[in-house]
Amino acid sequence: MNHFAIEDWADFARGLASADRKGAMQMHLDNGCGKCAGVVSLWQEILDLAAGESSYQPPESAVRTIKVSYVLEGLRKTFPRGAQIAKLVFDSFRQPLPEGVRNLGPRARQLLYRAGKFAIDLRLDSGPDRASLVGQVLDSTRPDQGVADVPVTLFKSRTRVLKTVTNRLGEFHFEFEDPNGLRVWIGVDQERPVFINLLELEAWRVDQSHLKNSGVTHGKM
């Protein structure tokens, strides 16, 4: 039994074969060719999948995450060689609310980052007029002591807006008007400064808007 080519069956499945060609191919299937029937079935599955892909819209949360990743990658090229990007290990906004609580309203956000042997504890509080960022730099090899006299710089986009130095307990404090688009640069080591990007928090915060539809929220800044 002669079989039709794979590309012929692709045209058949898409309805592009001529009337005569389509009739001959249908007769071939009706005569019980299992091999060609399998090829047609495969092409139909591919077409169904392609039709579904064309109407698929990725979740907004995924889009925002990808955008933040591109921002971070672009910023990475401007870092001094050896700069450490701190990893977020705790975020109070991502913790479940107590049972029976539907909305705590505006509240401060507690964050913990790690970069090598350093831990950076942050508290981000957004009030009606001004926001504040309070932090402490700790050394895991000396957990009972803060890291003193460390320069800390707050950036808005690519512009430095505030600069301070940690006190003897490793603490620092900033106040500002707009809490969005912030980055923190901590000079714990001249050759390996620590970088914290708070932009990723904004993407996650906006992504939680779908929880409001279910009656559950984690509060807002």
| pLDDT digits 0-9 by tens, 148-178 | 999 999 988 777 889 999 999 999 999 988 7
Q: In this model, does residue 80 exceed pLDDT 70?
A: no
Report the distance separating Cα 23 and Cα 43, nearest Å: 18
How does pLDDT run across 89-112, given as a tens digit for each residue? Answer: 998 887 665 555 555 555 688 999
What would the two tokens of residue 14 be?
Answer: 């898409």
Instruction: Write the burial class of residue 158 (CB in 10 Å: 0-12 exposed, 13-18 middle, 19+ buried).
Output: exposed
Beta carbons within 10 angstroms of residue 163's beta carbon: 13
Report the distance separating Cα 73 and Cα 183, nearest Å: 14
Is-above-0.75 flag for pTM? Answer: no
How does pLDDT run across 121-132, given as a tens digit for each residue? Answer: 999 887 777 889
How does pLDDT run across 21-52, given as a tens digit for each residue? Answer: 888 889 888 888 888 888 889 888 888 887 77
On whether the CB atoms of residues 140 and 117 are closer than 8 A, the answer is yes
On whether the CB atoms of residues 75 and 42 are closer than 8 A, the answer is no
Hunting for tokens 């080591």 — which residue is that? 189
Residue 217 has a pLDDT of: 39
Confidence of residue 208 (pLDDT cuts 50, 70, 90): very low
Q: Point out which residues pair with 87 in neighbouring strands.
A: 114
